[in-house]
Amino acid sequence: MKLYMSHTSPFARKVRMTTRLIGLADQVEEICTTFESAELRERNPLGKIPALEAPDITLFDSALICEYLDEQYVEAGGDSLYHGDRDDYYPLLSALALANGITEAAVSTMMETKRTTEHSTYWLERWNTAMETGIRNLDVAVLGTPADMNMAGIAMAACLGYLDFRLGDRNWRAWNPALADWFHEIAQQRWFTDTAPPEGA
């Protein structure tokens, strides 16, 4: 399989952490690309990262790619990262949606601040509110532990890693101290450190 990705994309990082957690990293070739790349647009007409080229299908959108990888893992005898057969299935999906939404707000904030024209105060405030209220309302208990990780936890790890990387002035740890404690442990895991953006990126 081939994963078209960027080292700085939190959505690509979510997929990359997933491959490492479920033992598929050696089966996925990571190809660094850009939004303007013709090879990316051949696989995703929207020109968004990431995109996965598998033997039987080409997929784009990190959520869909992670679901596909999870399916491969389950077929090989692993336990689903989505916990579809457990009581915490819907709380997990809710936390996953929250993590994805916070990430989208963070990426939108970063892109807005990079504009050379006047920034939209309205949208920056709206995205910041989404990030803060989302983090404040996140139930850490749903995210799993290093020994029992799930997709909501993976998505949240990618999200918080991106906040530290691109929006370090956001004091998100004060918004949810329990989440900060959880992330401190997660940030020491090999699957997290191996997917960190390179220095100076």
**Contact assessment for residue 59 and residue 68, using Cβ atoms and an 8 Å cutoff:** yes
- The token pair at 189 is 């895991």
* Amino acid (one-letter) located at 152: A
The predicted-structure confidence for 158-168, as pLDDT tens digits, reads as follows 999 999 999 99
Q: What is the pLDDT of residues 179-192, one digit of tens each?
A: 999 999 999 999 99
Q: Where are the beta strands (DSSP E) in the chain?
A: 2-5, 29-32, 51-53, 58-60, 144-145, 148-149
Task: Tell me how far apart the alpha carbons of residues 57 and 187 are, in angstroms, rounded to a whole number.
Answer: 32
Residues 6+ apart with CB under 8 A from 25: 16, 19
Q: In this structure, what are the phi and psi dihedrals at residue 15, rounded to the nearest 5 degrees?
A: -70, -45
pLDDT of res. 41: 87
What is the CATH number assigned to the segment(s) 2-75?
3.40.30.10
CATH of domain 89-190: 1.20.1050.10
And the tokens for 89?
A: 């299935």
The pLDDT of residue 5: 96
pLDDT in tens, 92-149: 999 999 999 999 999 999 999 988 889 999 999 999 999 999 999 999 999 999 999 9
Q: Over 80: is that where the pLDDT of 201 sits? A: no
- Percent of residues, the chain, with pLDDT higher than 70: 100
Quick one: average pLDDT of 57-78? 95
185 contacts: CB under 8 Å, gap ≥ 6: 145, 146
* Dist CA 165 CA 10 (whole Å): 10
pLDDT (average), residues 27-31? 97
pLDDT category of residue 80 using cuts at 50, 70 and 90: very high
Here the contacts of 110-115 (C-beta below 8 Å, separation 24 or greater) are 110/166, 110/167
pLDDT at 10 over 90: yes
CB 19 within 8 A of CB 151: no
Locate the domains of the chain by residue range.
Answer: 2-75, 89-190
Q: Using the predicted structure, report yes or no on whether residue 6 has a pLDDT greater than 80.
A: yes
| Fold equal for 2-75 and 89-190 | no
pLDDT band at 36 (very low <50, low <70, confident <90, very high): confident
